[in-house]
Structure 1
């Protein structure tokens, strides 16, 4: 039977720039932890299923950090040079276990940064290490009364805790290795040689990630795409007014616009291409604009660079249909959701994410038996094919979500679900797994008069602008950009200093800072990101030789809520 419905599964791989400045310490360890868990496993699943096709999107700042970790770990193992990540240094023993109570408490808390039901509880020796001191799953050691007696614990206790934390973060494909199995059976009293072998495994994994994805692309199994360099929201750099399509009445930053924003957006695209070509040896065909944030001015910029496709969320599709004068009946049938849009006056095709199907993977199926989840997912696709009928072969269903954050909540890092899903999709008689580059040429495009500005989250930019804390963050950035522009205009910087300041500005323009500002996010995560954001801005001022404003010494946002899946995902509701 001929394949009748095209399906594109797109995994977005993204971590923000966690270093303090361009070359300082890593403030958070998520790049290497997701590297050894998710980026490694996601490559392994594709390698085991050569008939499975997918799009894998990388943020350029993630590629740079993956590469940097591999090199820092290599220097650590060869020469004993400490890395710029405290957790790795503690594991290696090149940084001693703290003797002060606050330092020890921090180690205990940091070694609980994971989803305990899936990453601590399945390992009795790991759970026992925490239970013996009364540590809670939330990592709140002080509240549980453990702070006072941490000083009585041996150094070996903390080394064992650090070892188990890293073992728990290893992906399913690495946990199957004899070394890891041996360490897990060993359970405790891990020696310096044990920990060095574990570090060697981590280094080998990190060094191999980019080459593995490059190999998948070179054999035609995977399409690799990119986001703009620093993961900025291009439509907001271009024009704050782009928030008005979906948020007509929301408060805006005091600044009316981001100065020189269109030029900065183009810089991020150009720099992103350069980094992508450096690591993958080819130019990408498409761009997943940061957070699926699209607008007609951003689409025009993609057109200038010759990109053939981009993508966004279902909310943007719905708003664009309304803006283009589509009938309510046409919108309710959702037929045009399953086709790339050809927006009047622009060449790149725009694909739209099926929010329901994507969010089933991101938020729902983690609690299901893998076989039931796979059956349900495939059944949904079969229903879409039946609904579209003979025209299904000209349509494409776009499944787009983060490639790293959901699996922490699945048994065995999503191994059983992804293995079964890839097998079912690649063998299915009527579902044809494909890529966006292929479908930009093959699928029948749907004309769209106007593209509404918005993102894959709620179809708006409310996650990044339009509330008090987020707007304040933009005003801080605008002030820093004006200082940067003044330094450039006055020729205050030589070529090397200008290059450094320009890259630092790109870090400050990333979307993740604004994502976390707001009282609906966990206080601990908000604190991590708002502190790092102020650090990045202060570093920019230092690089341009200007005193940082005093408000950067004050907390910008405190948080206090809870985020679904504790990562960079947000459920599309409303």
Structure 2
């Protein structure tokens, strides 16, 4: 008899790093995530379905990520990328043939990359979005959307800009999955009162909140984090469970830090002779290639060779521990709640496989254990829970995020605060132009094209990833370059529009380079007050 529900929510997102020029280093973020996270998730879902294991979870595939996964140019580039990995794995078999421990791992990588190639190219014909869509149609996963370019919504200046991010996210979802999404992942789980009204206007059913966003809601939620609340606008907010998050996320106590697991930071891209690996390095710069031969071992620099069998056993043990802890949690909650509790466990999808190599194995073990070894907990999607319990308390979540210290500090601090005055000025200018040119109807008109490209450039500049990278002090130059590039493009387009002197050659180049959201329409930036008056009239 089911006593409660477990809702995994995976947040799959990358900034838009598609470039017309091949070999850009940032594009490797996408290739690594496909190889190490997205396809491994698809592989375990195929195995679970084949075995008859019942499982459900929710996954956000952000609009920028979906746009890249659905892009034919990037699909072809990734196809070549995985063939290069297979080629390197063959070389590694030769290099390590006299080192039995390393040779066993070279065999593992050779098999892994060939399996990735099969699922990507042969089974799903270079389009892994089709795989996720297939599992959604089977009822195993629920796919939700996010803001268009993962903008940090509370730090945008206007509701017009927030609405444009949300509306574009929904339209992109419809483009790839053939229907409207039920829910949205608010970037960084960042919420401020009033945002729920925009979600409601866009017919979104729910979002995921930080823990304290729910616990500090007004009035105080009767069920704490273990049931959703409805905002006054009628959108459900699910709170992040603290206990299950800590077991996976915590750097000190979380499973991924176990010494038996693979060490992320030791990679042949840095360890081996440059001449041996240089043809597998984009732009000739040393980086992680994906061949890692050591386990975490200890907190110092001394590392032992990775043992995949011991790591697999540890993943099974940790899956059992996680299930046991959720059972204890559910049994306790059953005693104090008058409904079945839901434990919402949101994680970055890239944790599973990319950062934590054994993460997909852990998920597979967990879903199997939940299916075969107990009957107290049922995995569930967030929409399904709302179907079970359509009546919930009304309360307003507090302003919050899941970032460091729980509010906005990561995305607004001395490293990145300079960007906002420019982003805010661009918002206001775009609203002004959208109002001024609302009469345009011919989408082939160069002004219409320029205004649409103006929207793309602003959306790309608003990505929260750039502010995060500046704070994290990783690839800062790239984040600054991207922010300034899109704002510069925005300014040039504004000048051309206002002077009626649009450079068609430059406009066409921008449309090819920053080609995200092909169906974008600048009119979504029309002043909301005037749009409302027209509706009422």
The question of a shared fold, defined as TM-score above 0.5 by the shorter chain, is answered with yes
Q: Deviations over 1:166-223 (max 9, x none)?
A: x96x9x8x4363xx8xxxxxxxxxxxxxxxxx79966976723100000101111111
Q: Which residue of 1 aligns with 2:35?
A: 36
Distance 2:74 2:354 in 1: 26
- Could you say if the C-alpha distance between residues 444 and 514 of structure 1 is closer, same or farther in structure 2, counting changes exceeding 3 Å? same
Q: CA deviation at 1:442?
A: 1.6
Q: Which residue of 2 aligns with 1:510?
A: 463
Residues 182-261 of structure 1: matches in 2 within 5 Å? 207-237=126-156, 258=157, 261=158
Distance 1:200 1:374 in 2: 26
Distance 1:340 1:295 in 2: 17
Distance 2:167 2:230 in 1: 24
Question: 2:10 touches 2:348 (CA, 8 Å); kept in 1?
Answer: yes
Q: Deviations over 1:398-423 (max 9, x none)?
A: 01011113433434x42431221111
Q: Which residue of 1 aligns with 2:13?
A: 14
Structure-1-length-normalised TM-score: 0.64
Q: Which residue of 2 aligns with 1:287?
A: 184
Distance 2:40 2:434 in 1: 44
Distance 1:263 1:21 in 2: 30
Q: 1:354 aligns with which of 241, 251, 257?
A: 241
SS at match of 1:43: helix
Question: 2:315 touches 2:365 (CA, 8 Å); kept in 1?
Answer: yes
Q: Deviations over 1:379-413 (max 9, x none)?
A: 221111111125475221101011113433434x4
Q: 1:389 aligns with which of 334, 355, 359?
A: 334
- Could you say if the C-alpha distance between residues 439 and 416 of structure 1 is closer, same or farther in structure 2, counting changes exceeding 3 Å? same
SS at match of 2:142: strand
Q: Which residue of 2 aligns with 1:497?
A: 450
Q: Which residue of 2 aligns with 1:462?
A: 409
SS at match of 2:27: coil
Question: 1:425 touches 1:432 (CA, 8 Å); kept in 2?
Answer: yes
Unpaired runs of 5+ residues, structure 2, are 99-104, 259-313, 438-444, 498-537
- Do structure 1's residue 62 and structure 2's residue 65 form an aligned pair? yes
- Could you say if the C-alpha distance between residues 90 and 262 of structure 1 is closer, same or farther in structure 2, counting changes exceeding 3 Å? same
- Could you say if the C-alpha distance between residues 429 and 124 of structure 1 is closer, same or farther in structure 2, counting changes exceeding 3 Å? farther
Q: CA deviation at 1:304?
A: 1.2
Question: 1:11 touches 1:400 (CA, 8 Å); kept in 2?
Answer: yes
Q: CA deviation at 1:462?
A: 1.6
Unpaired runs of 5+ residues, structure 1, are 78-82, 94-110, 112-118, 129-163, 181-197, 238-257, 548-574
Question: 1:32 touches 1:66 (CA, 8 Å); kept in 2?
Answer: no
Structure-2-length-normalised TM-score: 0.68
Question: 1:18 touches 1:26 (CA, 8 Å); kept in 2?
Answer: no
Question: 1:66 touches 1:206 (CA, 8 Å); kept in 2?
Answer: no
Q: CA deviation at 1:126?
A: 8.7
SS at match of 2:70: helix
Q: CA deviation at 1:483?
A: 4.8
Aligned positions, number = 416
Distance 1:392 1:455 in 2: 29
- Could you say if the C-alpha distance between residues 206 and 360 of structure 1 is closer, same or farther in structure 2, counting changes exceeding 3 Å? farther
Q: Deviations over 1:502-522 (max 9, x none)?
A: 11111111111112223xx23
Distance 1:65 1:419 in 2: 27
Residues 374-413 of structure 1: matches in 2 within 5 Å? 374-389=319-334, 391=337, 393-411=339-357, 413=358
- Could you say if the C-alpha distance between residues 34 and 498 of structure 1 is closer, same or farther in structure 2, counting changes exceeding 3 Å? same
- Could you say if the C-alpha distance between residues 175 and 20 of structure 1 is closer, same or farther in structure 2, counting changes exceeding 3 Å? closer
- Do structure 1's residue 536 and structure 2's residue 489 form an aligned pair? no
Distance 1:543 1:125 in 2: 54
Distance 2:227 2:487 in 1: 42
Question: 1:396 touches 1:443 (CA, 8 Å); kept in 2?
Answer: no
SS at match of 1:447: coil
- Do structure 1's residue 433 and structure 2's residue 386 form an aligned pair? no
SS at match of 2:16: coil
RMSD over equivalenced CA pairs, Å: 3.8
Q: Which residue of 2 aligns with 1:307?
A: 204
- Could you say if the C-alpha distance between residues 539 and 309 of structure 1 is closer, same or farther in structure 2, counting changes exceeding 3 Å? same
